[in-house]
Structure 1
Amino acid sequence: MQQHATYVGIDVHAKSLACKGVNINDGQEYSKVFKGPDKDCALIRWASQLPGPVYCAYESGCTGFDLARKLRAEDIDCDIIAVSSLARTSIEKRRKSDKIDACAIRREITNPVKKYSCVWVPSEEIEGARDLARLRVTATDEVKAAKLRISALLLKYGHVWQETTESGRPKAPWGKDHMAWIKSIDLDDPVSQQVLDGLLTLLDQRIQENRALREKIADLADTPRFKPYVDGLRGLKDVNVQTAFLAVAEIGDFRRFKSPRRLSSWLGTAPSESSSGNRRSPGPITKQGDGRLRRAPIECNAPMRLRQPHKKYLLKGRPVSGEVEAIAAKANRRLFERYLHMVDDLGKSPNAAKVAVASEMIKWIWVIGRQVDRELGLP
């Protein structure tokens, strides 16, 4: 039933590796702790001497995928277990040590009934793109935070932006007029003025950093690895290059999800449930998975009420196939109609409707991604 002879559970830390192994043929147990800068190489040498084939596993965490890649490069099977899916006994919850954690992993991987899920190990290229996309999201959040600090400081001194256009509509903040207004303010306290000048300098730095990251992402999105997918996802309304690249980088490989529902569940946009007997009680979305990608389609659908139902015209130099264009057009029409139905016909909250539309939008992203896979000749 088992395809490996030796199973090894590893509790991974930055400076140590605690290993607990067992040979399922004769029941012999193995235990080893590796420390020092060459602990990964020592683990590989030790695992290579065990009765093979050898299977290793460790919990997901801040140590990332480096150890799994090294073990796989030496023809040693290794998986990373999602920490949220690893069951623990009552004793393991009360007592915790590296060896106990390694034993818990070993117990799960030797169980014939698999009750845990494994994390997909991306390539170094995908991981680098993912880090770049996440850094861009962080930089955007820092720009927003810097703006909030400036507004809060000005509010304390009674300065509020209230300029209007000739038609009487409020002028949008953080434009040229708004920035000129802020720079013209002279606070009475010289120290507070220095604080304001420092916040403006910090804001300018964050804006420059954010702009540089966007340019890097735009360049990377034009490479052969990402361009077909980014161009395809750009067919969805209000999805720009940055959002499309974030989706492609976070998902990595659309083939690892057998259905769009699997992708929605992985991302946390599927509804939670608390049902018993004949009573079914669906709840809010689970919010598991990466919050950056989950937030992106919700923000894309923010102007849904103002959206026009006609198809989106792509920029020059970003051609897509007729099949991808038809899928995107169908998705745009479907999402727009569903939003109006939920808000106007069912009386749902606009925010709840946007979340529901975002959950379906994730599924359309999977459909477009798989269509691009087929056009590239991928199974």
Structure 2
Amino acid sequence: MQLALGVVTEVHVPDAECEGARDLARALADARDDAVRAKQRLSKFLLRHGLVYDERNAAGQRRNRWTGDFWAWVGRIDLGDAAAMATLDHYCERVREADAAKAALEAKVKSLAQQPRWKPTCDALKCLKGIDAVTAASIACEADGFARFATASGFAAWVGLVPSEHSSGESRFRGGITKAGNKHLRKLLVEAAWHYKGASRSPKDLAKGQVVDAATRRHANAGVRRLVDRRRSMDDAGKQSSVANVAVARELACWCWAVGRMAEGA
């Protein structure tokens, strides 16, 4: 009775398959965090010993870390103490193990995106810049059906990407985002939004095996143009970069809702 009157809100309960997909995607997020921590520990250990990787290529550009050249450089290090060398070996091994675990989970999440339940939505979401197969699979299983959200703003609110509000009488004050709801999904969208800083307005090419109908792709391409223009206008206005990125993330959430519903036939 209360549900029919709108007094209470129905709670969505995902099924076992969806819960398993969410667990896998969140395990990947944990593995990425573990890899970052392992690399930080190794970097700080080397720094304590006065060692900084500063190799350069023929053009004078600094080489990236965590490449074959970096590991070859690490392999030539001699700290002159057995305990210190054992510590170095330990940190190096932890980095390699963390990277291997992350790569294995990424492969499993990519495979998840090809399953019949998730593929149509994932293929549609991948038309938006900043969203690859892994991110698309994570968004799709966290949402578990965009059709259950009546509006784009409702989905953005569920993710916690809408402004907070403090009201007193007739006065209304808006603050930062609420950060309520799905923290994992909010982080994914905020990270994806960074791709629109300096991005072109051109659409993404379809990946091998990606199947998207023409209408959904046109709508996603319109979303890319809108998000790129939005980011440029905020940068030109002198907005703080992090503030501009969260604003783009909020709109990106709305576009995900839109193309997701189209992929679901809603």
Shift of 1:167: 2.8
1:350-377 CA distance string (max 9 Å, x none): 1111110011101100001110111xxx
The equivalent of 1:59 in structure 2 is none
Match of 1:292 among 179, 184, 202: 184
- Tell me the equivalent position of 1:350: 241
Query: What's the counterpart of residue 131 of structure 1?
Result: 23
| Distance of 1:191 and 1:350 partners within structure 2 | 44
Query: Hey, what does 2:207 align to over in structure 1?
Result: 315
Residue 286 of structure 1 deviates from its aligned partner by 1.0
Higher strand share: 1
Q: Count the aligned residue pairs.
A: 265
Partners of 1:181 and 1:172 in 2: CA distance: 12
Q: What TM-score do the two structures reach when normalised by structure 1?
A: 0.67
Q: Tell me the distance in 2 between the aligned counterparts of 1:2 and 1:327.
A: 38
CA distance 1:122–1:195, shift in 2 (3 Å): same
Q: Secondary structure at the match of 1:302?
A: helix
The C-alpha deviation readout for 1:50-80, integer Å capped at 9, x for no partner, is xxxxxxxxxxxxxxxxxxxxxxxxxxxxxxx
TM-score by length of 2: 0.94
Inter-partner Cα distance in structure 2 for 1:240 and 1:113: 38
Tell me if structure 1 keeps the 8 A contact 2:156–2:162: yes
Percent identity between matched residues is: 36
Match among 49, 53, 56 for residue 164 of structure 1: 56
- Higher relative contact order structure (alpha carbons within 8 Å, sequence separation ≥ 6): 2
Shift of 1:119: 3.4
Distance 1:347 1:277, change over 3 A: farther
Give distance in 2, aligned partners of 1:174 and 1:303: 22
Aligned AA for 1:172?
Answer: N
SS in 2 for 1:272: strand
CA distance in 1, matches of 2:15, 2:142: 12
Find out whether 1:340 has 2:232 as its counterpart. yes
More displaced stretch, 191-200 vs 295-304 = 295-304
Secondary structure in 2 matching 1:296: helix
Structure with max Cα Rg:
1
| Structure (1 or 2) with the greater helix fraction | 2
User: Could you list the runs of 5+ residues in structure 2 that have no partner in the other structure?
Assistant: none
User: CA 1:167/1:2 → structure 2, altered by over 3 Å: closer, same or farther?
Assistant: closer
Alpha-carbon distance between aligned partners in 1 of 2:170 and 2:48, rounded to the nearest angstrom = 56
2:176 is paired with a residue whose SS is strand
Q: Pairwise CA RMSD of aligned residues?
A: 1.8
